[in-house]
Amino acid sequence: MMRNLNCSIYRGGTSKGVFLLEEDLKALSSDLDQVLLKVMGSPDIRQIDGLGGAVSTTSKVAIISKEIENHWDVNYTFAQVLVDKPIVSYAGNCGNISSAVGIFAIENKLVDIKDPVTTVKIYNTNTKKVIEESIPTPNGELLYTEDFQIAGVPGKGLKIDLTFVKPAGSLTGKLLPTGNPTDVYQVDGVGEVEVTIVDASNPLVYVDARQIGLTGYEKVSDIDGDKALLEKLERIRGMAAKQLGLVSRVENSSTESPGVPKLTLVAPSKDYQDVEGTLISESDYDLSIRMMSMQKAHKSIALTGALCTFAASVIPDTIPNRLVKKHTSDHEKSTFTLGHSSGTISGSIDYEILNDGGVEVHSVTSYRTARKIFTGTVFFN
């Protein structure tokens, strides 16, 4: 007999995922990973027998519950369901999916709606960090008719303000997990590679694209179409994962910790064309970024990746700090714009340089759109 589960599908930023209430999952009394694999249709490169969309950005799950005791409103667990492997990863968070959690909470009456803005405080269980989402609700109504647009998503939608509070050390407990602004790896088949690892909202490992023979302005097809390059990038990412203690061997990175840290190629701002052929002018952004996601090139950028990069850009002597157009040296709220494969993303960071030269990040903020696509019942064996 087939089992069933109430579910919703939301687009959050440039990702799409299945949203579930934790209480409904508990009622199944089944192994959570197996349920999520069945619901999404994994492992299968087409995910033909489930709700997944056959790429990492559409094979995501958000599990939500109302918080009773603490100062936040809802609890949110993010699950990355691998498309072609029977693996569910709970390492790290997805900022894009996070952007839909607030409207899910409103739609499901987990929070009281207010006029003119409803602020939803969300506790991400993966990173043990709080996200504050401010959602326009004029006259106490949730409307999807606003005119904000983000790169990588057609059309316009509801502008959601996301602030990640005290984002440092989301997985490793430290803003600079290795204690250094840069480290040097000796990578098989590549040679000496300098990297920066920063953990703010999610851990990222940064490489100057030019150091490994790239420009930093590549299209997704340029990266995904080069198998040797993909293997090279995964070896670098695997070394970072090994250094952080996330994998037992570099060779196991794609199975033991496929999603974090995220490998990120950066370069100085320069004119380039996005995936639609639109010219992105050097004057329109501060740093070029090409991010990897689940061993493929991200078609735009992970929101947590952008937020982490804002932080990395103000930490002295990191690779992003060297290359970013804007530099600051005192406590202030600094804004940045990043240029990625599908366009640009902007945001801000509230931080201060400490007396010992370190950096304290108070918050990082950016903006997304999100909307409900479907609510119903999913059936699975």
Say which CATH architecture domain 3-166+369-380 belongs to: Roll (3.10)
Q: What is the pLDDT of residue 189?
A: 84
Indicate if 183-368 has the same CATH topology as 3-166+369-380.
yes
The residue length of the chain stands at 381
Taking the mean position of all CA atoms in its chain, how far away is CA 99? 10
Q: What is the pLDDT of residue 196?
A: 98
Q: What is the pLDDT of residue 356?
A: 86
Amino acid code (one letter) for 125: T
CA separation for the pair 80, 77 (Å, rounded) = 10
Classify domain 183-368 at the CATH superfamily level. Answer: Diaminopimelate Epimerase; Chain A, domain 1 (3.10.310.10)
Q: What is the pLDDT of residue 188?
A: 87
Find out whether 173 and 179 touch, Cβ atoms under 8 Å.
no
DSSP result, 355-368: TTS-EEEEEEEEEE
The answer, as to whether pTM is greater than 0.75, is yes
Q: Which helix (H) or strand (E) holds 348?
A: strand 343-353
Q: What is the pLDDT along the chain (381 residues), one digit of tens a residue?
A: 899 999 999 999 999 999 999 999 999 978 999 999 999 999 999 999 999 999 999 999 999 999 999 999 999 999 999 999 999 999 999 999 999 999 999 999 999 999 999 999 999 999 999 999 999 999 999 988 888 999 999 999 999 999 999 999 999 999 999 999 999 999 988 899 999 999 999 999 999 999 999 999 999 999 999 999 999 999 999 999 999 999 999 999 999 999 999 999 999 999 999 999 999 999 999 999 999 999 999 999 999 999 999 999 999 999 999 999 975 555 566 899 999 999 999 999 999 988 888 899 999 999 999 999 999 999 999
Measured between alpha carbons, how far apart are the two ends of the chain, in Å? 7
Q: What is the pLDDT of residue 14?
A: 95
Domain regions of the chain by residue span: 3-166+369-380, 183-368
Q: What is the pLDDT of residue 327?
A: 56
Q: What is the pLDDT of residue 333?
A: 66
Burial classification of residue 328, based on how many CB atoms lie within 10 Å of its CB (0-12 exposed, 13-18 middle, 19 or more buried): middle
